[in-house]
Chains A and B, each alone.
Chain A
Amino acid sequence: MIIETINLTKMYGKKAGCQEICLEVGAGQIFGFLGPNGAGKSTLVKMLVGLLFPTAGTARILGRPLGDLGARQKIGFLPENFRYQDWLTGKELLEFHASLYGISGAEKKRRIPEVLGQVGLEGKERQKVGSYSKGMQQRVGLACALLPDPELILLDEPTSAMDPLGRREVREIMIELSKKGKTVFLNSHLLSEIEMICDQVAIINNGRIIASGTVKELLVNAFDVKMQVEGVTPPILEQLSKLGTNLAVEGQFISLSLGAREEIPALAEAVVKNGALLYSLEIKQNSLEDLFVDLVREGGSPCGNNSPANN
């Protein structure tokens, strides 16, 4: 495992930052970490990179304990609040970070133009970082993280300051890294982005993981059904409420969420057998965003398995 956390916990006094986080991220994965503001996403990332010290639990990165300098040699990190020495030029900033990684002079000469090209900043390296736009600063931060050709790269909201083109480029970088067998830990609010590129996803809320698994696994049991029914009676609604959740009636239209595709025939049967007329039945596969919103709104309970916690 590239990242393995066992009951990793961070408390701020009595307030929980993260509680009993158990994660496993394998090599070559793009792992998406989701959660609303203040859920504990950055707290976990900060613990993994050594900015915060866990209150309880353990973690191993690249097979070594947290804080191990040998492991850090192979880890790239782009912080959420990216700020760099604005009095340095882009090239000087990269040279500084290369020195922190212990990269030799010859290797610096080879690697710096390479990462500048990767993040689309070639030709801008002689400008002061202070003169860069926010998007360019985020790009140079990403270049710093890519310098050691890391085995694991942790990106905390890596495209928050970028335009759509920049976001696309960063996505391509992440996919490229994954193809090379590198592991990407992506902390992001951009659910569509995560849905598009992540192999595995974990959702955190109130400091606890409430769902985890592949995007496909998480969405397999997430359906919304909308029916047009004439002659709705209380017994029908009672049966429907037992089959699904979020039941809503608006005139002839009934909508509800189902936990499994296999429940659809039972739904139709409940309407027809009770003497009502079923004119239409629409099934909508939820997006990751729908699932995320549902889980967070319902304040899903913590899970230790690879499935949505509110199933």
Chain B
Amino acid sequence: MVTIALLTIKEVIRRRIMLVTIVLAVAFLALYGTGVHYGYKDMGGSHYAGPMQALIAPMFLSIGLYFGSFIVAFLAVMAAVGAISGEIESGIIHAVVPRPVRRSEIILGKFLGYSLMLSSFASLFFISVLLIVHYNTGLNTSVSAGTIGLFCLQPVILLAVTMFGTTFLSTLANGIGCFMLYAVGVVGGMLEQIGHFANSQFLVNTGIISSLVMPADSVYRKIVYTLLSAPDASFSSMMMGPFGSVSEPSVWMLVYTVIYIMVFLTLALMVFSKRDI
């Protein structure tokens, strides 16, 4: 398993997947940092500078984290979409499966390799966004290892689903399926927030159901709520609009998320262990 994990990490580096991602992430952070800097600074001259700045700083943070979540989710799907199917299509796996390794080790090794790569990238991205907002706006958030861990959990959810898909779908079909599933979670999360504003229980319920189908967005909501809902906060999460979180997803949602990952990973193991290649 470790051999497969190390090869997976080496592949991500050698095939410049990591390089392209880092370069584009730096470009995103540069643009984002410029936006935060000038947005906050220029607002300081307006009549309502104080309250508006107090509102815009957490809003900048939530936007940064929202698009950050999107980028790491995108990376998770793109990196692992052909992890098995691509190697079956190319024939690379024909030389690997007959070696004295269990098929489960191949799946778990790839999952471990991608998870380590995604977690490293996600935590760096998360810290970068927090630092940009902090140094430009002075916003203090209650950051902990737990919130960083939650940010790293998001791509792992997509990774587990993608690993399952790649064991039986073609690379293209898997990619489309995973992105659609992610979109369901994102749209559902937004509908839930709108439901809170509009006092629509139907929309809230729709959001909850979509979170069960794809829990990545609810993890994002938990991160935002945890970061921006300190007791002495001078703003309300209600003000974050669709990027914020009116209520904190419960700890059971996290338990569900972990079970969700394990179920998809187990399904991937089961399907691949019986698949003819």
Contact = CB atoms under 8 A, between A and B. Distances in A.
Interface of A: 46, 49-53, 69-70, 72-73, 75, 77-85, 87-88, 96-97, 99-102, 141, 144
Interface stretch (B96-104, B190-198, B202-210): B96-104
Contacts of B91: 79, 81-83
B13 to A, nearest CB: 9
B92 A52 contact: no
B41 interface: no
Contacts of B7: 85, 96
A100 B99 contact: yes
Interface in B155-207: none
B274 interface: yes
Nearest to B92: A83
Nearest to B16: A87
Most buried by B among A46, A73, A141: A46
B95 A141 contact: yes
B103 to A, nearest CB: 9
B232 interface: no
A81 B92 CA distance: 8
14 contacts: A51-B97, A53-B274, A72-B100, A77-B95, A79-B91, A80-B94, A82-B91, A83-B95, A87-B11, A100-B3, A100-B96, A100-B101, A101-B100, A102-B100
Interface residues of B, number: 21
Given A85-B92, A101-B100, 10 more contacts: A49-B97, A53-B274, A78-B95, A83-B92, A83-B95, A87-B14, A88-B10, A96-B7, A101-B99, A141-B95
A70 B99 CA distance: 10
B95 A69 contact: no
Interface in B104-125: none
A51 B274 CA distance: 10
A72 B95 contact: no
Contacts of A79: 91, 94-95, 98
B92 A84 contact: yes
A51 B276 contact: yes
Nearest to B100: A72
